[in-house]
A and B are shown apart, each in its own frame.
Chain A
Amino acid sequence: MATVRKALPRRLVGLATLRAVSTSSVGTFPKRVKIVEVGPRDGLQNEKNIVPTPVKIKLIDMLSEAGLPVVEATSFVSPKWVPQMADHAEVLKGIQKFPGINYPVLTPNFKGFQAAVAAGAKEVAIFGAASELFTKKNINCSIDESLQRFDEILKAARAASISVRGYVSCVLGCPYEGKISPAKVAEVTKKLYSMGCYEISLGDTIGVGTPGAMKDMLSAVLHEVPVTALAVHCHDTYGQALANTLTALQMGVSVVDSSVAGLGGCPYAQGASGNLATEDLVYMLTGLGIQTGVNLQKLLEAGAFICQALNRRTNSKVAQATCKL
């Protein structure tokens, strides 16, 4: 009936005084959260096994049927760099475009943008970073130079009435620089917003962030950009993604990026996990009474489908608990 344990005499740890705890921040959440599903792009991009085009198309269709309002379909990047995305045009042309659902595609440069428009893209995404070293190592230029390169895209997008979403990488830490100042993140975010991005997704690229860092970063960014134009993109490399996302929600953010089945590893930490799993996010939001428009059952089916195709286990705990996989 009882368990017994032996304890050596414990030093009385003076339970240090508690700071005044405000419970008001615990309970205020947006009524509705828009989930941006990045599995088909961010997820698949980081998976070792190349996925055939029809499988990608089916995945995206299943995600649309699950009710996700935004599904990032592909990336118009050179196949030389990202072979997984070589079929970008076929994918974008092949998917069913459900009314009311957006299908943004990544466009790393103007050439990619042109190809995306030719393939029917109505929304594109561009990438900046809050770290100079990260930008240098990845595209061999400074942050400012990288943003200038996007000027052409933004001008053309405006003329063609194509929406542009901005991403900021390394907002809570950089694999090369380490700590990143919230002021820097705010600066880059503000630039992207003033250039014409309707929404900026703040990415904890290597998942090192914790709720405190998320709060500090968002506080700085909120001085420059309205909360309605912000999204968070948390990686689960250190298991912190949902806690960080919760913090962002408490601060008024109502757009969250996630990846079905938690697809995608981390290129900076071998063996580590990557994206936050959409199923686990939906589970939390539903429990909080927050609307998402997503059918969890259909989402689980999409996750099971792609994991089977990739011959890998899901990273979603909800899926593990429900599908007995």
Chain B
Amino acid sequence: MGNVPCAVKQCLSYQQLLREHLWIGDSVAGALEPAQESAQLSGFPEYVKIVEVGPRDGLQNEKVIVPTDIKIEFINQLSQTGLSVIEVTSFVSSRWIPQVAAGATEVSVFGAASESFSKKNINCSIEESMKKFEEVVKSARHMNIPARGYVSCALGCPYEGNITLQKVTEVSKRLYGMGCYEISLGDTIGVGTPGSMKKMLESVMKEIPPRALAVHCHDTYGQALANILTALQMGINVVDSAVSGLGGCPYAKGASGNVATEDLIYMLNGLGVNTGVNLYKVMEAGDFICKAVNKTTNSKVAQASFNA
């Protein structure tokens, strides 16, 4: 999610869009296995939905430009793994309706809990961005298209530092209120720790039911899985991640970005939490994309298994 602001910035300029190598992808819903009865620890959800953001958040943050046929193969492989949501982006300008008419059936809007972040990245205040999102979400709903809301900087901002709980809650509530079916709370720069995750979720959950929330943790400081564990213990059961932990962090050169889907699944499997996802197939897809972009995986599970 760290690069979202760049993407959003780009999509405001139609000329830039034409120049960029724009590719329209599909989010593919794989088949889901029915929730199984499995031995599990009290205090954890029985099922966790993983939202795979590798093809979008991950690849965009990689320096190497990935050819379209590789991307398509990557997404095809991911769609065989059991992942029910695979995010692939199509950047759109304000003239997004034709794109939607072309077949897209879900929309995401990216808000931020930080005024500075919002200003620097989409050149408008949070309030202004919310008004624009309202239009988008309203139109989407008229066409029966679900909208997912993202809140960046939920645990800290690269410009402002600490973000107040009230602000995160306010922005999340706004997005939920305008009709987003799910709000993904993003630790954009990975600075959060279990304590700050807990406090933030306690605050947001006063306004939004846990079933409408997701966490999107970056692993910039190695805290992602610990933060996700905390979120699960609090009743969250939707987690964003990226296969191979693709994607760096635009705010800390050399730093890692997304939490690796493989490592997340490993933890959930160990906890007896159902995900419907085949870890080995995800690892194969991860191996494929890493070879294709010529980089070593950020997933520890993959490192341990593929004798990298």
Using CB atoms and an 8 Å cutoff, list the residues of chain A in contact with chain B: 1-11, 13-23, 25-27, 207, 209-213, 215, 236-240, 242-243, 245-247, 266, 269-273, 277, 280, 283-284, 286-289, 316-318, 320-325
For residue B26, which residues in chain A have a CB less than 8 angstroms away from its CB? 5-6, 8
- B27's partner among A5, A18, A27 (CB-CB below 8 A) is A5
A272 vs chain B, min Cβ distance (A):
4
Determine if A8 and B300 form an interchain contact, defined as CB atoms under 8 angstroms apart.
no
Determine if B221 and A280 form an interchain contact, defined as CB atoms under 8 angstroms apart.
yes
Determine if B267 and A277 form an interchain contact, defined as CB atoms under 8 angstroms apart.
no
For residue A22, which residues in chain B have a CB less than 8 angstroms away from its CB? 42-43
Q: Is B237 an interface residue (CB 8 A)?
A: yes
Q: Is B81 an interface residue (CB 8 A)?
A: no
10 residue pairs of the A-B complex, CB under 8 angstroms, read: A1-B122, A5-B89, A15-B49, A19-B43, A23-B234, A239-B266, A239-B299, A284-B226, A288-B194, A316-B222
Across the interface, name the chain A residue whose C-beta is closest to B102: A6
Determine if B229 and A212 form an interchain contact, defined as CB atoms under 8 angstroms apart.
no
Across the interface, name the chain B residue whose C-beta is closest to A321: B255
| A3-B108, A26-B198 as given contacts; A321 in contact with B43, CB under 8 Å | no
> Which of B7-15, B61-69, B165-173, B284-292 lies on the face that meets chain A?
B7-15
Give Cα distance in the complex from A247 to B228, angstroms: 12
Determine if B87 and A5 form an interchain contact, defined as CB atoms under 8 angstroms apart.
yes
Give Cα distance in the complex from A325 to B252, angstroms: 10
For residue A236, which residues in chain B have a CB less than 8 angstroms away from its CB? 300
For residue A273, which residues in chain B have a CB less than 8 angstroms away from its CB? 300, 303-304
For residue A3, which residues in chain B have a CB less than 8 angstroms away from its CB? 7, 11, 56, 89-92, 107-108, 110
Determine if A284 and B223 form an interchain contact, defined as CB atoms under 8 angstroms apart.
yes
For residue A237, which residues in chain B have a CB less than 8 angstroms away from its CB? 300, 304
Give Cα distance in the complex from A273 to B271, angstroms: 22
| A211-B267, A272-B303, A283-B223 as given contacts; A4 in contact with B46, CB under 8 Å | no
For residue A283, which residues in chain B have a CB less than 8 angstroms away from its CB? 193, 221-223
Q: Is B179 an interface residue (CB 8 A)?
A: no
Give Cα distance in the complex from A247 to B41, angstroms: 12
Q: Is B17 an interface residue (CB 8 A)?
A: no
- B104's partner among A6, A210, A287, A322 (CB-CB below 8 A) is A6
For residue B260, which residues in chain A have a CB less than 8 angstroms away from its CB? 239
Give Cα distance in the complex from A325 to B254, angstroms: 6
Task: Indicate the member of B274, B276, B304, B306 with the most A CB atoms within 10 Å.
Answer: B304
A147 vs chain B, min Cβ distance (A):
29
Give Cα distance in the complex from A314 to B230, angstroms: 26
| Interface residues as binary, B205-231 with A (CB distance below 8 Å gives 1, 0 otherwise) | 000001100000001111101101110
| A26-B198, A325-B254 as given contacts; A7 in contact with B105, CB under 8 Å | yes
For residue A4, which residues in chain B have a CB less than 8 angstroms away from its CB? 89-90, 92, 96, 99-100, 104, 106-108
| A1-B109, A4-B96 as given contacts; A272 in contact with B198, CB under 8 Å | no
For residue A207, which residues in chain B have a CB less than 8 angstroms away from its CB? 304
Q: Is B184 an interface residue (CB 8 A)?
A: no
Determine if B106 and A20 form an interchain contact, defined as CB atoms under 8 angstroms apart.
no
- B108's partner among A2, A14, A19, A318 (CB-CB below 8 A) is A2
Give Cα distance in the complex from A321 to B251, angstroms: 9
A115 vs chain B, min Cβ distance (A):
35
For residue B44, which residues in chain A have a CB less than 8 angstroms away from its CB? 19, 21
